[in-house]
Chain A
Amino acid sequence: MILLAVKIAILCMSIAILGLIYRLIKGPSMPDRIIALDAIGINLVAIVALVSIFLDTNAFLEVILLLGILSFIGTVAFSKYLEKGVALERDRDL
């Protein structure tokens, strides 16, 4: 029973990622694509959690936190590049 629910949830997450990939390809502006990429990261976290329920293991729980961290850092880097033109500044106060 729980496995069927997990399968349905994984299917829904896959459909959500497909919609986000549409936005990633189509998106007219760059911030659209960045937000689509961030949301794909969050959906991947959900899929990893569901797969670890499906396989009945807790070996993938580190992957969840790591994906969250990497998705956050990637989004911050992209947004800073869009706003200021550089990702890493030499000296902010100059």
Chain B
Amino acid sequence: MKPNDVILHSVTKVAVFIILTFSIYLFFGGHHNPGGGFIGGLSVASGLVLLYLTFDIETVRRNIPVDFKKVAAFGVLIAIFTGASSLLFDKPFLNQAYGYFNLPIFGKTELATAVIFDVGVALAVIGTAVTIILSISEDG
């Protein structure tokens, strides 16, 4: 007999959206408020873990066809290349710059190159955490 998990499935379908939205908020708030790449990536990973717990690994893999080992490698590459790109402008490694721009919707916005480095950190954290959890769940 198949178990009936309808309450858990319904709650998860709503809660995962809230968790992922909150992690995006944590990620973008990291420049001036508590948050940043590490905790943003970890909360994305916890939302994915909730999906893996509620449904099974094959279903989530079919719907999110992402190899998380490649995500971790891609994140480290992004972090290294943003660090190395400051060498092109005769600045030391991992130098950063920021400026104020007038964007169409947001108005006057501060854009910093540290965000791109943070994207790398977040992708590396997501890839590492999900890879660890998926590989220790292999039975036998």
Contacts and interface: CB of A to CB of B under 8 A. Distances in A.
Interface of A: 59-60, 62-63, 65-66, 69-70, 72-73, 76-77, 80, 83-84, 86-92
Given A77-B53, A88-B53, A90-B58, 16 more contacts: A60-B34, A63-B34, A69-B46, A72-B50, A73-B50, A77-B49, A83-B3, A87-B137, A88-B56, A88-B133, A90-B56, A90-B57, A90-B139, A91-B56, A91-B59, A92-B56
Interface size class of B (residues with CB under 8 A): 20 to 34
Interface in B51-76: 52-59
A70 B102 CA distance: 38
Nearest to A88: B137
B48 to A, nearest CB: 10
B53 A73 contact: yes
B115 interface: no
A84 B5 CA distance: 12
A59 B33 contact: yes
A73 to B, nearest CB: 5
B57 A89 contact: yes
B63 to A, nearest CB: 13
B interface: dominant SS: helix
B22 interface: yes
Contacts of B49: 73, 77
A interface: dominant SS: helix
Nearest to B139: A86
B123 interface: no
B53 A62 contact: no
B112 interface: no
A80 to B, nearest CB: 6
B34 A62 contact: yes
Nearest to B60: A88
B24 to A, nearest CB: 13
A76 B50 contact: yes
A66 B50 CA distance: 14
